[in-house]
Chains A and B, each alone.
Chain A
Amino acid sequence: MPDIVLRGLTKRFRGRVAIDHVDLEVKNGEYMVFLGPTGAGKTTLLRMIAGLTKPDEGDVIIGGKDVTKMPPEVRGLAYMSQTYSLFPQLRVWDNVSFSPSVKGLPPEDTERLAREMLLLVGLLDRRDAYPRELSGGMQQRTALARALAAGTNVLLLDEPLRALDARLRIALRLSIKKLSKDLGITALHVTHDQEEALLVADRVAILRHGRIEQIGLSRQVYNDPVNPFVAQFLGEADFFLGEVDEVSSAGTKLHSGTRHWVARTSRLHPGQDACVAAKSENVRIVRDGADVQNKFEAVVTRKLFLGRFVGLELTSKETKLPLKVRLEAERGKDIEEGSRLALSIAPKDLMVFPIPPGGLAKELEVE
């Protein structure tokens, strides 16, 4: 039932646009992640769907019904805030039975629902505890049980893992997803953590400046970014500038300075300035004499120890912009700062974009 449809949703705060004409369809039972940097409008979008923030324009349609003007309590969605907002004066049991009880369900049903949900998250034995007596993970599970006890088919999760410490966050990533899949629930999950997003999402929507830049399966948005921003926001990418010589269905030929490159196909036209990008892990170190395409030389300026990996920062005359490369610690153990390396990027890994309005540097700004 609850397909969620957003049409032209727009919100301004004091004239500043927070959400800019967003259109979106979320299918029943889908796990959708909103990913974006701080201030992209993710939470605002979620709050408008929940009914906690009034949109300036556009519609929110849930299960075919226009709920734009409806208050949150009749929308039948459960919203979980970053800090969980467990009611501090209520015990776990009363927190979980809050929703059925305010909706006036008969006591037997309230009791049954609360019991079921606490059993589901494994906290039935802590029913008499106050939220402050629980660990971070238990608090999160309580909040989840409370949301599920609302009898909802849609979970709105605002950074559900943020309040947990790093290890627990990784451990619990998949548990919410599994739960919602098991129960056939539609979930909208907001996060700024790209690794978390790629891991849990069926589809990811990447937000920036209140707009959805790209939406698709995790692997699609990672491998086929639509612009340099998405390319660098997911994972790590290297960039340089060039000029297009020739475009065909086989690929794009271009040059930067005197150096020629072969890249993926694109919709650019010859003579156009281009921004060329590759994910860092696709920049390979090759033997000096190897006969590969897009071979070039670079000097290691910095070597970073990252545990299983080593990160290299390099400069190259060929690309002008600094490069980042990541390799297994074992393979990188002989490389020193100052070493000269031969590198190559396979044409299928080299992406070509038009120069973004405002320039590449601005496009790649983290804030």
Chain B
Amino acid sequence: MNESKDKGAGWRKSLLAIFSKRYVRGAGYSFVVLFFILMVLLPTLFVLSLLVTGWGDIQATVLSNPTKMGIVWNAIGYSFGVAILVTLLDIAFGLPMAWFLVRRQFKGKALLNTLIDAPLAVPTAGLGVSVALFWTGVIGSPFLLLMLLHFTTTYPYMVRSLAAILNEIDIEYETAGRTFGASKLTAARTITLPLFRSGLATGAILCLAKALSETGGVMAALILLAGSSFGAGSGLNGTALIGVWKDCSKTYASPDQIPFYCGGVTDLTLKSALTFVSALLIILSLILLAVVKLLALKFKFPLKKVWPTFEARLSKGTVPKLRDAAAFGFLIFMVLIPSFFIAGYMFIGGGIPGVDWGSFWNGVLLSLSIAGVATAIDLLLGIPLAVLIARGRFRRFGTLLDVLVNIPYIVPSAALGISLGTFYATMGVKGVDVLLVTMAHVAFTFPFIVRNVVGALEGLDPGYEDTARTLGAKPFQVFKRISYPMIKPAVLAGAIMAFTRSVGETGATISVSSNVLTAPIMIVDKTKYGSRDLFTAGLLIALLTIICFIAIFAMRVLTNRRPRRA
């Protein structure tokens, strides 16, 4: 008994000694960085290189074809137009809500928090179905429908980011301003709002990225809106176009397998069109990100001028009440009810074709396994990368990695999928579609873990780690015994965000392979003209929502249990 214990200890000791060797650690970190660059970053951006090598094809089949170019520009315009407009409206309606959440104490705050996060639990394909059904007959314009859809997918991100930063801004500043005679509005506008920039930037980037990325929800909503006339004409955004063209650029065994929206013919030249659209989406989203970052740094809140009486009048009476009413109205009618409208469809009895339980459970299990494996890989390799970024000795290199890590998140996941698919096809990796889909999921969920852990480590007083070192702990022991227990909530939060995002992902899955039928893919399929089965879609949505909701709830509980501080 004792002997085996000693043996275990000896074994652990020698492992620790190996881990603590400087060159072993160096090799470990190099491996992690190499993995990130070769398996995450390179596949994500690979499609850009095809702009050069495949330029001839692109010119011949896309650039010289006015119809296709028209479709492409229209789709790009839809993607960016919707994303930017939605982000601006999110700011307008999210700001008062965040303010309300942080600055007011009231009963039911926890409930309101849960309600705001609730749409995050619904797989976005489900949101697409739900929003489209809710607005059926009212909305005829695809552009407007996409905006309404994206309120539900992005609003929680905006409120969360704004509330997080508002929480950190000391209310004392505002109180001080008010004791000097500023009205509530003047104080908030001139003192707190300028401190807000970073929160606004984070929120805007999250919303833009989410709106640009969304594929499954967009396809489901547009299919429901357009019915049999859904297809590669106008009225698609960038990611939906990728989804459609991906399906129509394949060879099918028999003509009746060709999706209805390809108009009965497949077109292999769409491959270079896909490359072109994906590359364009990637480049434009990176530019947009850079612009937002730059704005956040340079932008000065322009209104230095103060109108004391006017602003004082706005701070009292009906105006603030109207503002709060508008914020809540938006939350209820634009976000919550449309998100959960699908629930009604599950209770429609009778006349429903039998559910194919086999493929139903296969889809759910496949989704959960891909998400599970991707999250595990994220954790295993993302944590060391985060440590390197936050604690590494090479400052510039860390900052560079920090910027690069965000790229897979910013890039629309459908474009990422196309890029990654062509990368592995070019490398000659074939046949294991599930593996490739998993790699795509690793790529776009990787930033969740890394960002969260970097943030937590940067917030951690390095005094703990320094002290532990001088007390004789080796770097690995310091991490395991001291740092990790303190950042655990952030790690878990990152893992759950990565997991739920992966479970609900459509774009990165279909653009890599159309043979991997995860649950969100099935949801989109069930909306298709000809094979429509909203009951099964509703069941899938409900099941995935419950799973994700439990995960989000668990995250809330775990992160609220604050690490014990001295």
Contacts of B467 in A (CB 8 A): 79-81, 85
Please measure, in the bound complex, the distance between the C-alpha atom of A345 and the C-alpha atom of B471, giving whole angstroms. 52
- Residue A73, interface by CB 8 Å: yes
Instruction: Determine if A11 is an interface residue (Cβ-Cβ < 8 Å).
Output: no
Which A59-79 residues have C-beta < 8 A from chain B?
71-79
B392 within 8 A of A: no
Closest to A50 in B: B470
Q: Mark A80-122, 1 if CB is under 8 A from B, else 0.
A: 1111111111000000001100111000000000000000000
Q: Which one, B473, B477, B564, contacts A89 given CB within 8 A?
A: B564
B492 at the interface (CB under 8 A from A): no
A102 touches B481 (CB 8 A): yes
* A158 closest partner in B (C-beta): B463
Of A52, A89, A102, A139, which contacts B471 at CB under 8 A? Answer: A102
For A75, what are the chain B residues with a Cβ–Cβ distance below 8 Å? 470
CA distance A102 to B16 in the complex (A): 10
B263 CB contacts on chain A under 8 angstroms = none
How far apart are B285's CB and chain A's nearest CB, in angstroms? 35
B11 to chain A, nearest CB (A): 12
Q: Which residue of B lies closest to A150 (CB)?
A: B471
8 A Cβ contacts from B552-566 to A? 563-566
Flag whether B461 is at the interface (Cβ < 8 A).
Answer: yes
- With A104-B13, A131-B566, A132-B564 in contact, is A87–B470 under 8 Å at CB? no
- The answer to whether the Cβ of B316 comes within 8 Å of any Cβ in the partner chain is no
* B481 shortest CB reach to chain A, Å: 7
Minimum CB–CB distance for B47 against chain A, Å = 40
Contacts known (A86-B566, A132-B566); A79 close to B466, Cβ less than 8 A: yes
Residue with the highest number of chain A CB atoms closer than 10 Å, among B13, B470, B474, B486: B470
B471 nearest CB neighbor, chain A only: A99
User: Residue-by-residue, is B461-483 near A (CB-CB < 8 Å gives 1, otherwise 0)?
Assistant: 10110111111111001000110
Is B181 part of the binding interface, using a Cβ–Cβ cutoff of 8 Å?
A: no
A147 in contact (CB, < 8 A): yes
Please determine whether A78 and B565 come into contact, CB atoms closer than 8 angstroms: no
Contact bitstring A146-170, B, C-beta under 8 A = 1, else 0: 1100100000100000000000000
Q: Is A36 an interface residue when CB atoms closer than 8 A count as contact?
A: no
Contact A73 B469 (CB under 8 A): yes
The reply to whether the CB of B485 lies closer than 8 angstroms to some CB of chain A is: yes
Shortest distance in angstroms between B20's beta carbon and chain A's nearest beta carbon?
9
- B430-486 CB contacts (< 8 Å) to partner A: 461, 463-464, 466-474, 477, 481-482, 485-486
In the assembled complex, the Cα of A73 lies from the Cα of B464 at a distance in Å of: 14
Would you call B565 and A88 a contact (CB within 8 A)?
A: yes
User: A150 touching B472 by the CB < 8 A rule?
Assistant: yes
Could you tell me the distance in whole angstroms from the C-beta of A68 to the nearest C-beta in chain B?
16
Chain A residues in 8 Å Cβ range of B472? 73-74, 76, 99, 102-103, 150
Chain A interfacial residues counted at CB < 8 A:
36
Tell me if A353 counts as interface (CB < 8 A to partner B).
Answer: no
**Is A51 located at the chain interface by the 8 A CB criterion?**
yes
Contact present for B470 and A52 (CB under 8 Å): yes
Instruction: Report the number of A-B residue pairs with Cβ-Cβ less than 8 Å.
Output: 85
Which residues in window 482-532 of B have CB below 8 A to A?
Answer: 482, 485-486
Please determine whether B463 and A89 come into contact, CB atoms closer than 8 angstroms. no
Q: Which residues of B contact A240 (CB under 8 A)?
A: none
Given known A-B contacts A85-B464, A102-B477, A104-B13, A139 and B470 have beta carbons under 8 A apart? no
A309 interfacial by beta-carbon distance below 8 Å: no
Chain A residues near B564: list those with CB within 8 A. Answer: 88-89, 130, 132
Using CB atoms, name the residue of chain A closest to B481.
A102
Q: Which residues on the A side are within 8 Å of B468 (C-beta)?
A: 87, 98, 102
Q: Which of B13, B477, B563 contacts A88 (CB 8 A)?
A: B563
Distance in angstroms from B40 CB to nearest chain A CB is 31
Instruction: Point out the residues of chain A lying under 8 angstroms from B477, CB to CB.
Output: 102
Q: Are B470 and A78 in contact (CB-based, < 8 A)?
A: yes
Closest to A130 in B: B564
Are A72 and B469 CB-contacts (below 8 A) given A81-B463, A104-B13? yes
Q: Which residue of A lies closest to B22 (CB)?
A: A71
* Interface mask (B1-41 → A, CB under 8 Å = 1, otherwise 0): 00000000100010000000000000000000000000000
A98 touches B486 (CB 8 A): no
Given contacts A84-B566, A87-B464, A89-B486, contact A102 B473 (CB under 8 A): yes
Residue on A nearest B6 in the bound complex, by CB: A106
- A51 surroundings in chain B (CB, below 8 A): 469-470
- Measured in the bound complex, the distance between the Cα atoms of B486 and A87 in whole Å is 9
Give the CA-CA distance A147 to B565 in the complex, in Å. 20
**B486 touching A88 by the CB < 8 A rule?**
yes
Distance in Å: Cβ of B470 to nearest Cβ of chain A: 4
| Closest chain A residue, CB of each to CB of B17 | A104
Least CB separation from A82: chain B residue: B463
Are A81 and B466 within 8 A (Cβ)?
A: yes
Q: Tell me how far the C-beta of A289 lies from the nearest C-beta in chain B, rounded to whole angstroms.
A: 59
Chain B residues within an 8 Å CB radius of A80: 467
Chain A minimum-CB-distance residue to B12: A104
Contact call A52/B469, Cβ cutoff below 8 A: yes
Residues of chain B with a CB closer than 8 A to A132's CB:
564-566
Measured between beta carbons, the chain B residues less than 8 angstroms from A147 are 471
Task: Among A77, A83, A99, A104, point to the contact of B463 (Cβ < 8 A).
Answer: A83
Beyond the given pairs A78-B470, A146-B471, 17 more chain A to chain B contacts, judged by CB atoms under 8 angstroms and listed by A's residue number, are A52-B466, A73-B471, A78-B471, A79-B467, A80-B467, A81-B467, A83-B463, A85-B467, A87-B468, A88-B563, A88-B565, A88-B566, A89-B563, A99-B472, A99-B473, A104-B9, A139-B566
By a beta-carbon cutoff of 8 Å, the part of chain B in contact with chain A is 9, 13, 461, 463-464, 466-474, 477, 481-482, 485-486, 563-566
16 contacts between A and B (CB under 8 A): A47-B466, A51-B469, A52-B466, A73-B472, A73-B474, A75-B470, A79-B470, A81-B463, A81-B467, A85-B467, A87-B481, A89-B485, A98-B471, A102-B477, A131-B566, A150-B470
Leading 5 A-B pairs by shortest Cβ distance: A79-B470, A131-B566, A85-B463, A99-B471, A85-B467
